[in-house]
Amino acid sequence: MGLLNATEASPEEFAHDHAHALTEGERVWVAYKTMRDWIVFTDWRVLHMDVQGLTGSKRQYFSVPYKSVTAFAIESAGTFDLDAEIKIYLSGHQPIQFKIGRKSDVSRLQSLMAEKLRG
């Protein structure tokens, strides 16, 4: 899975527009959005919503609870890099990776992931 050109988005916007994808009481802490796709970090999981097809009526939801994450890497944008990169490693799977715009605040995501993965 990879999102290109994702930008930081409002967690409230995702929660409002896609409440059906969240459990009761689940809070969205950090959200990123492309033209149609979302990747959000809630209080207990990472959720990727992949909008498919020409009309966008087909959607795939990929949910990963933090307990399944074994490691993560966040690389901020550099002088010549246009995007920051985020990789989330899962036991027995290829890493989830995506790029976000250089103006996005990766420090909030860094803190959230570190908190959720501490033993």
Rounded CA-CA distance 33/16 in Å is 14
Instruction: With respect to residue 1, please indicate whether it lies within any of the assigned structural domains.
Output: no
At residue 3, the pLDDT reads 59
At residue 102, the pLDDT reads 72
Q: Which residues of the chain have pLDDT under 50?
A: none
At residue 80, the pLDDT reads 62
* CATH, residue 26: 2.30.29.50
Instruction: With respect to residue 2, please indicate whether it lies within any of the assigned structural domains.
Output: no
Instruction: With respect to residue 70, please indicate whether it lies within any of the assigned structural domains.
Output: yes
In total, how many domains does the chain have? Answer: 1
Q: Residue 15's domain spans which residues?
A: 7-117
At residue 95, the pLDDT reads 87
Instruction: With respect to residue 55, please indicate whether it lies within any of the assigned structural domains.
Output: yes
Instruction: With respect to residue 65, please indicate whether it lies within any of the assigned structural domains.
Output: yes
At residue 2, the pLDDT reads 59
Instruction: With respect to residue 89, please indicate whether it lies within any of the assigned structural domains.
Output: yes
